[in-house]
Amino acid sequence: MFKGLLLKLHLLMACLPVALIVCMSLLGGLIQPVGADTIPSSSSCSISSSALPAGTVGIPYSATLQAGGGTLPYTWSIISGSLPSGLTLDSSTGIISGTPLAAQTYSFTVRADDSASHYCTISISIQVNSNTASENLTSIQTLMISKADTLLLSAGVLPVAKDLASSDGRVKLSFAASTIINMQGQSQLGAAVESNPPAATDNSTLVCAYSFIPSGATFSPAATMTLRYEAASLPAGASESGLYLAYWSGSAWQQLSSTVNTTLKEVSAPVAHFTTFAIRCPTPATSTTTTASTTSASANVTISADILETTTSFITSSGVLTTGTTLSSAGGKLSINLADNTTVSLPAGGQQITVIQIASPPAAPGGTKLVEAYAFTPDNTTFTPDAMLTVKYTVDGLPSDVPEASLYLAQSENSSWIPLTSTVNTQAKTVTAQLSHFSIYGLLGKVTEAPPSPAAPSPPALSAFSTSDLTVSPETAAAGEQVSVSVRIVNGGTGEATKTVILKINDAAQEQKDIKLAAGKSQIVSFNVSKSEPGKYTVSVDGQSTSFTVKESAAKASDGMSVAILAIIIAGGLLVIGLVVVRLLRQRSGGY
């Protein structure tokens, strides 16, 4: 029994290597090294796109994946990792496209499935580089036809949603928050009417065209472009609902997926870059039916007008004014002048226009005041050429701080006032401007800044002068010797003041000096005097007094002594002479 067990164990050990080989063979088709191409044994499919070009943030990117050896067509997919933010993979063409949004290296695994249910994979990467020019851009100056604005950026990204529009509202661009804007190294964005657009490259007709700069500037996500049209500018027989936006690719007009608002007369579409854009429409087919319809539409139409409760009317033929007219309210408070052959387009073929004064209009911008505002309806009624709007005012009706010369007319757009080029006639008391369509219009004026209030006069400076430290040097002087007199003057008042310092000698004014001292300051005032007569002299300044003495000179004393001695000598001489004379007289008389 023990031998039988050993025999079975020996057979099991002999079969184990064979079992392992079979198991490894079965698992070999299921286990592949991580990151290696997976090519099932039943297919020779391989992906040749092992390296893809680098991209740049904010610049459109496109690369096509290639595969071979399998059965066409291929279906493409990402099975691990991720494409750069902003890029997508077209599953049917293998094209990776879009606008990269962030700079870094993106690694991912692509799988290609052929039509015979075989597949292959490859791990690849795309390097997205930063866009230094865009990231350093902090602001973009814009000029939409004639209206200036500014886009403020943060590292090339628009942080908040922003709308740009022309003054007449015919062109508008709407950017979403976090839009990456690549200006191709430029810092100015603009739109202008295209006076010489490219010719049609398909069966379409141009309605209006605008050129946008800088050409090639890109937006991610795409901006929304809205262009306004006039029904009168459409070709006869054209359908408004068939209008679309198109861009010029350099060789052809490319149609964009568009939305038409026939009430506002606007066509909108997303745009990802700048070039020339246009509203186009399919060219209407000509037929006798169309001709009959056109003829019928050319019948005269009377349009009634209510201008501030003043009723009037005018006649158009096919929307064209046959004779120029002026629509005016009573007293000429408000008037609209329409020239000959003006094309008047009312929404939905209306035949009534109305103007009323608004009680609660939008607030006036800073530095201005609103005088009055009017609503012109139906909104978006258009005039080609522009109508002339005139508003009459009175000086008494103006705010006191609004001068006549500063008045102007403005159009309300999204609760903001857009100034119109206006003419003020201070003699006729009117303000005039052109208008191309109906909206809300107002009369505004710039506020004159009040002159600054005169400064309150400063209180008179109060002085409180005091005198001290009166000194003389020397106190005893020879006749004619110079004696210095000094005194300290202190201003103990509240302001700067002038002081006259008078030096008196023996109560007689000798000299004076004027000084100016600020509050709390002091000054030593000095005088120089000399006296030739000996004696004692009293010095006084503002009640302070002292004295000095002038002594007799030595020469003068010597002179006095010499005279006395001489007098003694003379007296002595005379005495001797007298004695001699007496003696002589005695001798003669014999008394000797």
Which DSSP state fits 5?
Answer: H
46-130 adopts what CATH topology? Immunoglobulin-like (2.60.40)
pLDDT (0 to 100) of residue 560: 57
pLDDT (0 to 100) of residue 455: 64
CATH topology of 134-282 equal to that of 310-446? yes
Q: Which residue type is seen at 129?
A: N
Which DSSP state fits 322?
Answer: S
- Cβ neighbours of residue 381 under 8 Å, at least 6 residues apart? 344, 345, 346, 347, 350, 353, 437, 438
Phi, then psi, of 105 in degrees rounded to 5: -95, 125
pLDDT (0 to 100) of residue 113: 93
- CATH code reported for the domain at 465-551: 2.60.40.10
Percentage of residues in the chain having pLDDT higher than 70 = 84
Which DSSP state fits 154?
Answer: B
| Rg (alpha carbons) of the chain, rounded to whole number | 55
pLDDT (0 to 100) of residue 41: 37
Contact in structure between 305 and 292 (CB atoms under 8 Å): no
pLDDT tens digit string along 397-436? 899 899 999 999 999 887 789 999 999 999 999 999 998 9
Q: Residue 490 is encoded by which pair of tokens?
A: 């202190």
Poorest-confidence range of 20-34, 83-97, 128-142? 20-34
Domain 310-446 CATH (choose: 1.25.40.10, 2.40.50.100, 2.60.40.1120, 2.60.220.30): 2.60.220.30
- The size of the chain, in residues, is 592
Of the two residues 462 and 192, the one the predictor is more confident about is: 192
pLDDT (0 to 100) of residue 15: 46
pLDDT (0 to 100) of residue 43: 53
Q: How confident is the model at residue 227 (pLDDT cuts 50, 70, 90)?
A: very high
CA–CA separation, 504 vs 545, rounded Å? 9
Pairing of strands 188-193, 482-491: unpaired
pLDDT tens digit string along 154-187? 877 889 999 999 988 899 999 999 998 888 778 8
Q: Which residue type is seen at 353?
A: I
Q: Residue 409 is encoded by which pair of tokens?
A: 């007319």
Sheet containing 61-64: order of strands: 61-64, 95-98, 87-89
pLDDT (0 to 100) of residue 486: 92
pLDDT (0 to 100) of residue 460: 57
Report domain extents, the chain. Answer: 46-130, 134-282, 310-446, 465-551
| Residue 23 scores a pLDDT above 90 | no
pLDDT (0 to 100) of residue 174: 95
- Cβ neighbours of residue 430 under 8 Å, at least 6 residues apart? 390, 391, 392, 393, 424
pLDDT (0 to 100) of residue 146: 72
Pairing of strands 218-228, 171-175: antiparallel
Poorest-confidence range of 490-499, 543-552, 560-569? 560-569
Of 492, 500, 484, nearest in space to 461 by CA: 492
Average pLDDT along the chain:
82
- Give burial (CB, 10 Å; 0-12/13-18/19+) of 309: exposed
Poorest-confidence range of 64-78, 113-127, 451-465, 564-578? 451-465
pLDDT (0 to 100) of residue 450: 64
| Residue 138 scores a pLDDT above 60 | yes
pLDDT (0 to 100) of residue 556: 57
Q: Average of pLDDT values for 200-220?
A: 88
pLDDT (0 to 100) of residue 99: 83
- CATH code reported for the domain at 134-282: 2.60.220.30
Of 391, 228, 223, 414, nearest in space to 307 by CA: 391
- Cβ neighbours of residue 392 under 8 Å, at least 6 residues apart? 331, 332, 333, 334, 428, 429, 430
Q: How confident is the model at residue 135 (pLDDT cuts 50, 70, 90)?
A: low
423: left (phi over 0), alpha (psi -120 to 50) or beta: beta
Percentage of residues in the chain having pLDDT higher than 90 = 31
pLDDT (0 to 100) of residue 294: 34
| Residue 2 scores a pLDDT above 60 | no
CA–CA separation, 232 vs 234, rounded Å? 6
pLDDT tens digit string along 347-367? 876 788 899 988 888 888 889
CA–CA separation, 218 vs 157, rounded Å? 12
Contact in structure between 213 and 270 (CB atoms under 8 Å): no
pLDDT (0 to 100) of residue 591: 53
Of 138, 219, 237, nearest in space to 173 by CA: 219
Pairing of strands 407-413, 343-345: unpaired
Contact in structure between 160 and 177 (CB atoms under 8 Å): yes
pLDDT (0 to 100) of residue 554: 56
Contact in structure between 58 and 134 (CB atoms under 8 Å): yes
Q: Average of pLDDT values for 466-492?
A: 88
Of 80, 79, 77, 106, nearest in space to 91 by CA: 77
Of the two residues 118 and 457, the one the predictor is more confident about is: 118
Q: How confident is the model at residue 133 (pLDDT cuts 50, 70, 90)?
A: low
Of 186, 167, 174, 227, nearest in space to 418 by CA: 167
First to last CA, the chain: 218
pLDDT (0 to 100) of residue 586: 79
- HSE of 534, CA atoms in CB hemisphere, 13 A: 7
pLDDT tens digit string along 451-476? 666 666 655 556 678 888 889 899 89
Q: Residue 67 is encoded by which pair of tokens?
A: 């595969």
Q: Average of pLDDT values for 28-54?
A: 59
pLDDT (0 to 100) of residue 48: 83
pLDDT tens digit string along 303-346? 888 898 888 888 887 788 867 888 898 888 999 999 888 898 88
pTM > 0.85: no
Alpha-carbon torsion 515, 517, 520, 526, what sign?
negative
Q: Which residue has the tokens 């039988």?
A: 4
